[in-house]
Amino acid sequence: MFSREKSMNKAQNLSLSQSKVALQSVLPVVGMAAVTAVAAQVTVPWWLVPITLQTLAVMAAGVALGAKKGAASQVVYLAAGALGAPVFAGLGAGPLHLAGPTAGYLLFFPVLAYLFGLAAERRSSVSGWLIAGAASLATLVVGGLVLSGFVGAKAWTVGVLPFLLAEPAKAILAMAGSHLRRKSA
């Protein structure tokens, strides 16, 4: 009887331990999805494509959580928005945001977070900065291509050019955070 109780206690402890590990893995992912949602509300109104702190939060997700968990946080963010949570810029919600003018930018978020996670994990700061710069520009290109399906050639003047200074600045901030994180670790 005693050995049965002991094995039940071990099973309960193992279950609690597994739950704690699962929670420790999920909370940062959900937390960065929430940070992205808040950052999306910090906006400068702009025609079709608002200027927000959203991409900085996406980049920071990759830097803070690593490539895979950073990308997962953005999948959670997009799923929450598609399911009706008001997480997109201007408290937007619903699946149409993932098929509208800003869809290219939004759908690239998991890739952007993943690439910033890779950039932050690189031992060589040069390769990390190159990955970060390329990822930042790729966001604009993908977003601009999708936007051009809605507004034609204007996409480049309203969805890419206004961001050519802001996005690299955000990338520099996110990567600076990765260097600070590395030094404190």
Please provide residue 66's backbone torsions phi and psi, each rounded to the nearest 5 degrees: 90, 170
| pLDDT score for 57 | 98
Domain with residue 91: its CATH number is: 1.10.1760.20
Q: Long-range contact list for 136-140, CB < 8 A, 24+ apart?
A: 136/55, 136/59, 136/112, 136/167, 136/168, 136/170, 136/171, 137/167, 138/108, 138/111, 138/112, 139/55, 139/105, 139/108, 139/112, 139/167, 140/164, 140/167
In a domain, 18, yes or no: no
> Which residue segment(s) compose the domain that 121 sits in?
28-184
6, part of any domain: no
Closest of 63, 53, 46 to residue 169, by C-alpha: 53
pLDDT at 48 over 70: no
Residue 172 inside a domain? The answer is: yes
What pLDDT does residue 65 have?
A: 96
| Domain presence at residue 4 | no
pLDDT at 13: 59
Q: Is residue 16 part of a domain?
A: no
On whether residue 34 sits in a domain, the answer given is yes
Is residue 105 included in any domain, yes or no?
yes
Count the domains in the chain: 1
Look at residues 132, 88, 87, 127 and name the one whose alpha carbon lies nearest to residue 113.
132
Question: Residue 36 pLDDT > 80, yes or no?
Answer: yes
Banded pLDDT at 106 (limits 50, 70, 90):
very high
User: Strands 51-52 and 43-44, how do they pair?
Assistant: antiparallel
The answer to whether residue 162 sits within a structural domain is yes
Q: What is the pTM of this model?
A: 0.85
Mean pLDDT of 140-159: 95
88 pLDDT tier (thresholds 50, 70, 90): very high
